[in-house]
Structure 1
Amino acid sequence: MHASFLQRHRTVLLTMLALGALALTIGTVFEFRLHATLPPLKISLNPPTMLVAAGTQPEFHWPTQGQAAVAIPSLAANALASTPNQHPVPIASLAKLMTAYLVLERYPLAIGSQGPTLTMTSADEQQYYDDVAEDQSSVEVTAGEQLSEYQLLQALLTRSANNVAQLLASWVAGSQRSFVAQMNQTATRLDLTNTHFADASGFNPATKATAQAVATIAAMDMRNAVFDQIVDEHTVTLPLVGTLTNIVARIGTANVVGIKSGYTIWSGGCAAIATEEQSPSGSFPAIAVVLNQQGPASLHHAASIAEQLADEVGAGVVHIDGVRAHQRIGSLRIPWLGRVGSSVDLTLTRSLKVALWPGQAITYHAHLTSATHLIGRPAGAVAGYLVLSWPMHTERIAIVTTGAIPPPSRWWRLLHA
């Protein structure tokens, strides 16, 4: 009887231990399944890949003499169209566009900043008198006078002061010769063929370029906010000489917002004119350069033609919808939602209208984040970005979910882990 009692207790004990082990095993399995890595959320994406602007270039009313080119700084680094048979010619004070570029490259300015202050020397004062004697455009300076970088650029660009071009050149490069070397090195770096600078002001007839090259430099300048601000000033006020009007008389009238003119007996009338063009995708500057206009009132004639050409190139821009707000570009499949409501659409947060020159293209690239971080997030969670790229621009638009993505139930986890 005693042995039988022990045997029964042993059986019960072993059974309890077995059940405990089973329960522990089951619990471990359940715990593993409840915390197992979830299957990936499957993303199906069908974003656009490329969109080319249709249309043809406008019919330009090119000058009957000399040469011309047009550019849009926000759309291309170089001139967009030009007269045939471009060849280097004297460009007079349009050379100051490169001078200003190098000054601002060496000593950048922010809007509202005056930059470093320069004290005029007796040599600077004498240079002014020398330029006046040669009937060069100039702004009076006197020894001991202090002018800021911004004020000197105003004198350079709005009054076309040759003496200021020379003193800025010496300030930036240490000497006229070194500065001219920098001008030519920059022209080479920018692939401005048939361009040669012999001085910082353009008074030297050996300073030559094509209208294409000048338009490229002008577009480069106009992308600088400080340069853009200065050349749009109708008048400037300097300490010694007081208030002066911009030599380009059309600035501040109609839609003209800059930029520079020039004349010598070698160059004839030369003008680079920028207009502010309005469009569905926002306003933008358009530039036209006209060189080597001869005859009476050649400077006025060059500026008038350039203004018309700037409007014509502006009118040739094509405005298209790059993307639309709420545009569907894909979906996110969620395995634990079953057949009904098993996916959530992916859409874009906003529209984007894009300005392009005919033949230019927008390219699209989608960049998605890890889908697992979307689990438990409400509708509107950011799933990634669609990056749009077109000449001179890159824009990023958020891709979002259109519905909430709930976590899976415990029951689903137990059955599917």
Structure 2
Amino acid sequence: MPLTQRQIFRRRRIVVFSVAGVVLATAFYLPLTLLAPLDEVSAQVLAVETPVAAEPELTLPSYGASAIGALDRPGVLAQAGSTDPIPIASITKIITALVVLDAKPLEVDEAGPTITFGQTDVDFYNAQVAQYGSVSPVYDGLQLSQRDAMTVVLLPSANNYAQSLANWAFGSEDAFVAAAAVWLQEQGLENTTLTEPSGIQDTNRSTAADLTELARLAIGNPVIADIVSTSSAEIPGIGAVSNSNALLGIDGVDGIKTGTLVVGWSCLLFSADVTVGDEVITLVGAVVGGPDHPTINAAIRELIADATAGFSEVEVATDGEEFADYDTPWGDESAAVAASTVKMVVWGEDEISVTVEAVPVRLAESGENAGALHVQIGSDTFEIPLVFSEEIDDPGAWWRLTNPQSLF
């Protein structure tokens, strides 16, 4: 039966609208799929094996008081013996030198002002001789630079020069003692007391923990650090003076100050540079109240060796090590990898934690930022960059056209 005119028109209209619909759908579908932004792809974070440091084993003396620390770490690594303030003998002179430098600063290569010694200084000498104190010669009219006078205080440990230096800087020993009390409080050395500048009196007292902090302050002062690391010096009008520290130059020891009060009371405030992996660590500490200097020197050498062994170098990340994986719907794969090998020196008791932060991604070039490792060692935190191991490229037109469900 032939189609009527109305049927023909209706069919033509259906065809026209169908074609128009296809054209319109294509006109919208193609740009939408080809230009649609990709969804972010999240990473699958991998399990991290946290490095573990060996437990330190330190042998500390059973006599007096002792402690050891590291220059860049607060507090002490270990301590033993009395926790009450005890006599510190000529370690006092380090405090005297620091307090004088606080009032009369010097640059490390500066001689400083000239000090003219007089009868008062001769009287200091005679009084120290009467008490069997350590002295260096002086006479009325002797002139020395501040640097040379400090060298005589710190190397041969001349009690009379400690008195003279304090008297020169502050006008009297009483004024020095008052200034020292303020300085000690400012430094947080609350368990340290000075009653005179030389250390001959047993009323000059401190704790091993305070002395470890004092060692940090001494090594942190370039003038004192330079003087105490010197084995000998030539002083005009006096002659050669030698460092009383018999450990100087042994096992990395580069300071700081001996002390002897009476027979059976020997002390050493010490510092030593030791190497762990590629890092140099400065150890600081004190042994106070030992029977004699050979005994405490042997104990300090053992303590330095034990503390050095207590540090270790751990590898936190290896160059190219994978910490997270990326798997895109269109088949591209990449990983968040360490940008370099990172090793860190840790103390055996440090807690180590590592967390992975991997950024979501759409497209990425190889080597671009992929996040970071957040590393905590003790109280310190670090970040290690992560990068993409492979390129994550656009999936292309065909995938876009055939996977609209992944785009919309």
Alpha-carbon shift at residue 352 of structure 1 (Å):
0.8
In structure 2, relative to structure 1, the CA distance for the partners of 1:400 and 1:203 (3 Å cut) is farther
Deviations 1:116-152 (A, max 9, x none): 7642455x6666434323335569697876546xx67
Alpha-carbon shift at residue 335 of structure 1 (Å):
2.6
Alpha-carbon shift at residue 322 of structure 1 (Å):
3.9
Separation in structure 2 between the aligned mates of residue 106 and residue 349 of structure 1, nearest angstrom:
48
Amino acid at match of 1:215: T
Amino acid at match of 1:349: S
Q: How does 1:263-274 map to 2 (within 5 A)?
A: 263-265=260-262, 268-274=265-271
In structure 2, relative to structure 1, the CA distance for the partners of 1:365 and 1:269 (3 Å cut) is same
Q: Which residue of 1 aligns with 2:7?
A: none
Q: Which residue of 1 aligns with 2:274?
A: 277
Alpha-carbon shift at residue 226 of structure 1 (Å):
6.4
Q: Which residue of 2 aligns with 1:131?
A: 124
Contact 1:157 1:231 in 2 (8 A): yes
Separation in structure 2 between the aligned mates of residue 321 and residue 212 of structure 1, nearest angstrom:
28
Alpha-carbon shift at residue 385 of structure 1 (Å):
3.0
Alpha-carbon shift at residue 39 of structure 1 (Å):
1.7
Separation in structure 1 between the aligned mates of residue 364 and residue 42 of structure 2, nearest angstrom:
16
Q: Which residue of 1 aligns with 2:341?
A: 350
In structure 2, relative to structure 1, the CA distance for the partners of 1:248 and 1:128 (3 Å cut) is farther
Q: Which residue of 2 aligns with 1:57?
A: 57
Of 291, 306, 309, 2:303 maps to 309
Moved more, 343-352 or 237-246: 237-246
In structure 2, relative to structure 1, the CA distance for the partners of 1:224 and 1:162 (3 Å cut) is closer
Structure number with bigger Rg: 2
Contact 1:267 1:291 in 2 (8 A): no
Amino acid at match of 1:53: A
TM-score (normalizing by structure 1): 0.70
Of 367, 371, 377, 2:365 maps to 377
Separation in structure 2 between the aligned mates of residue 49 and residue 225 of structure 1, nearest angstrom:
42
Contact 2:64 2:287 in 1 (8 A): yes
Q: Structure 2, unaligned stretches of length 5 or more? A: 1-15, 129-133
In structure 2, relative to structure 1, the CA distance for the partners of 1:134 and 1:348 (3 Å cut) is farther
Q: Which residue of 2 aligns with 1:185?
A: 185
In structure 2, relative to structure 1, the CA distance for the partners of 1:153 and 1:132 (3 Å cut) is closer
Q: Structure 1, unaligned stretches of length 5 or more? A: 1-14
2:390 counterpart of 1:399:
no
In structure 2, relative to structure 1, the CA distance for the partners of 1:145 and 1:54 (3 Å cut) is closer
Deviations 1:337-385 (A, max 9, x none): 42xx43424235103142313x3222335455x555x83422x333233
SS in 2 for 1:72: strand
SS in 2 for 1:83: strand
Q: Which residue of 2 aligns with 1:71?
A: 68
In structure 2, relative to structure 1, the CA distance for the partners of 1:283 and 1:291 (3 Å cut) is same
Deviations 1:300-358 (A, max 9, x none): 4433433333333333x1425241413645224253542xx43424235103142313x
SS in 2 for 1:184: helix
Amino acid at match of 1:38: L
Task: Give aligned pairs, total.
Answer: 380
Separation in structure 2 between the aligned mates of residue 133 and residue 182 of structure 1, nearest angstrom:
30
2:319 counterpart of 1:326:
yes
